[in-house]
Chains A and B, each alone.
Chain A
């Protein structure tokens, strides 16, 4: 049948061209005659082709044991069917899978979002917190991916922000043909430590990340680097992996030298308990260096200063996730419980007012945070969620304060605190491609006296290629 298409297209084309050419009245008659000749020629050729196809079809149906009406056309040679994309023959057939996520929210918060901070923690400098008041366009997430060749695949996930910027969230290649369970990845990518770090914003179960991720990694850690993973050939899921890179993301910084900054190692385990329950658990270790990692604060007189940390930053993360659905049928009902605990030690030097006094002395902190959340799909398309977040800043040892060079009030951001937050969520998912969400949070990130009551409405829509998500 595809043979007919070029002829049909030619006929349509000549039909479209005709009015333009027809303006030259002299040529019109000649053209018409020519077209008629062409037309009758093609009619004759079409008739011949049709006759040949009928002949072939009758031959095939008499030879086949199954009737044509029975849809099944056995082809042991596994040639693509007429409906399959492989049958198309154009450059577009090799287009990668493209999908686009639309996100936005309406925020009603009781405290000024400008004053939002996580008490007791050095700010990451990333855009964390409840965001701005009223209506906000979120990140439009563009994902493009395909196999490169039999050996590699490549993916780009770019975020077009509401502030008219384009951010490359991830752009990486991945191997397809390494033997023995190894997979290598290179480029920019979300690190595979923990559970939530790899999950893109549109797949979060709440509008925002847990406080622990906001405080420890400025939402999510992505750096330019390489990753090697190995999956054990066992029925129990055992995945071991390591990463290294330029360290550009908080809590690391780029170093003024060649080579890599730090290393990440992670191990994930998982399996099933019966037909209804699945679990995954893991432990991760991040070892990074920071050089002149600056953050904004105010001094004891209330004037803005820029301070900086230089030293080692080491973080432990433990994660566990459990999902339950009756008979594994997630279309109807599902319960998901997940939690992560992280602990960080930073040792090095803290410089006060790098652009002015530039006083420097030793610094050491040991901080921790965790969250526990549960999302329950109580009926198809409806989910309700509850999350508790808590952080413990510990009491950092600040050399400049210990020596008496500066008063403790010179470092308001480092005053010991234990922020926490409770979040309630309800979402409605009309289809696999849309989600509307309402969320209410009692946020004590600043401190318990300044409780921020945050109400948010959010939409998430996906168009284009059907996504596939990890567990």
Chain B
């Protein structure tokens, strides 16, 4: 179905082939005079939470971080949990963009654009927390190696400093990768644009891209290079985040499996969030033919697989805690399961280990709403995993004299809820104004997109795109 468009060049009506349908399907989301009603409702909700976010952060900056529930011995509470949670969510986007690209999984083209967008927004949400929780949020530039009046430099031996570089690099590289991926789609928007403002804005963003094959050649090489760079990067980022804890001596924190465990958990939580976004997006933006049930089923399998990796890590921690014979280590894990925050621990086990097990059954992993609900459950579970690791271990460390209680303050909850507001606001804006699906990539992998120059008389077969 083609939209009759009026443009200053009076070009012929759009074609009715597979390519045009894809272009149309995706572009009309931006070109429609008004987004669907669901968008407005979601935006209202998101803006409400965003306001809450701004208000609670403003309150914290004004009053000091005592407004949160931080108290000795839990000097690191919700903010760091939220930070790790959001950074983890970002990882799925890069995995879908970069790692699935390297593995030649072409089904990624339907979802990679908004997964990458999700990454950017999740990293923005994450970056807010280190900025705010440092106690003197007007001095964050001290974290960077900028010459200052004290002649001092950041402490590079600290994992927190590595975090700055890791998350900063990750945000930058993700942004570059996302932007580069959108250049051809901006060109499509530019060429279809009716208003001057739209043409100018998308035209500038497209940088004058015209789809020359010589340019595509370098573009594809750059894409491959960025994917090859982003893959180890995403593994390194959550590993560096895990180093924040693993380099310490606290039982429950100091364990060598943290780096791959955190990465697996990040992918797990991230895919869950992709699913939570994809199911309504395809429903309300009419993308069901592009983001199909097959895509969702594959994502469900990834969730199951990474969930098992996370379960493996839980089991290894438990085993080595026993095996080590170290009293504090053993206590830390017994306490997690049976101590003061055991309810959080069992929530985590239920959400992360048990809930994804439904995906063993094909009926479950092909049911869109089951997938959506499990995605939400997994997100909750992953938040609780970080909470259990951080807060439980801090409330019950070496000396009983040092044990304490942790009671999150209302501002803690408000900040957590509000961060979702920032995320969803940005995401909804993206849905409306930016190309939600990587049109060029999708077109390249439909059957019509393959060239068969040597096919005269041979039956189809060898065109070499394997999965």
Mutual binders A and B:
no
Interface residues of A (CB under 8 A from B): none
Interface residues of B (CB under 8 A from A): none
